Amino acid sequence: MRTDYLFTSESVSEGHPDKVSDQISDAIVDLFLSKDPEARIACETLTTTQLVVLAGEIRCKGVYENGEWAPGAQEEIERTVRETVKRIGYAQDGFHWEKFEFINRLHGQSAHIAQGVDAGENKDEGAGDQGIMFGYATDETPGLMPATLYYSHKILERMAADRHSGAAPFLEPDAKSQVTLRYEGSLPVAATAIVVSTQHKAGYDENDPAKQAELEAYVKSVIADVIPPVLLRETEYFINPTGSFEIGGPDGDAGLTGRKIIVDTYGGAAPHGGGAFSGKDPTKVDRSAAYITRYLAKNVVAAGLATRCTIQIAYAIGVSKPLSLYVDTHETGTVGDDKIEQAILGIAKLGGLTPRAIRTHLGLNKPIYQPTAAYGHFGRKAEGDFFPWERTDLVDDLKAALA
């Protein structure tokens, strides 16, 4: 296993056009689940200059039943979309929360999909689609996430907080970051390159060197607060390398749900399954099974059974039992990977990892998804109903199963 290398991950801010789309899609998921915990949602969002379009398939008691919208439902959907964009901070000429055209093309779920997914007298609830999903954990950071992605997220989270508070009034919502770390002995020892491109108010660019220097100094101060000084001794900085980033967000580049899946997961440090997460209710295993595999991998590492762990699971549409479970501890395990697989499948509270068991164990049929749609689905703090897949409450069960 290679232990000395350079590795890079990137993140994007809540104002990136693809992330605007993700947040709108998950706001719709939350809206429907708040009305009906058994709602079915597959909501895709397109954002571009002064336009937001929703498309997809839904089923929700009290909102959309038998091909009909409930009174006021479409107005509530539009209000939810506009409030999401307003919260992000878009009130620009090219994309304004109050002024963009809104088109809703959501429609009823396919009856053929429903008959495969829904539970019946002689069958358990099946997976909402076929697919492969991956979970990953590493001991590089306290949250058991890859350090390159962890720092990429934290830089942009801090900048967004400063923008919202008024501490950095020259910032606009769209931004990207990228962190390259040098690893020795599989541990990060230096940040060799950091890239931050941030949308800004008029004038904070190469045409006004003083204001450009103010922006660069601010970004470097954020980086210095987020990344330990010991890692910043040989760093090359690239801050708004094009010179100007005034036009951004959906006005600068169209956004679509599900285009930032590596940002959503592990920054390229682990495989990704076949589907995105945002806009999907938890019967879709693209989402729920990715959460359970992260939960399992994190608990394996937290239990001291490995320093790195990748887990894959696979499903067939309409079938409740997973087709396969695969554990890889990358030669860092204290027990055999096959024994960890057997231990996981033998833990009764996990219910054989059926879609229904996953949703029940993690409590996924709740409106908890919009916060996942920016700054990563993983490595976040489990609080109340939110981010339950980040809990490490399976450690004792794994240790007991392997004793």
Q: Could you give the residue numbers annotated as active site?
A: 16, 18-19, 44, 57, 176, 245, 253-254, 259-260, 280, 284, 286
| Amino acid making up residue 116 | G
**How far is C-alpha 198 from the geometric centre of its chain's CA atoms?**
20
Q: Tell the residue number behind the tokens 């938890």, with chain if given.
A: 282
Residues 281, 283, 289, 294: is their CA dihedral positive or negative?
A: positive
Provide the 8-state DSSP code for 6.
E
203-211: Cβ within 8 A, 24+ apart: 204/170, 205/240, 205/243, 205/244, 205/245, 205/246, 206/243, 206/244, 207/244, 211/170
Alpha helical stretches, state H, 228-306? 249-252, 261-264, 285-302
Helices (H), 95-140: 111-117
Q: Give the whole-angstrom CA distance, residue 258 versus residue 338.
A: 33
Cα→Cα distances 153→81, 159, 266, Å: 24, 10, 11
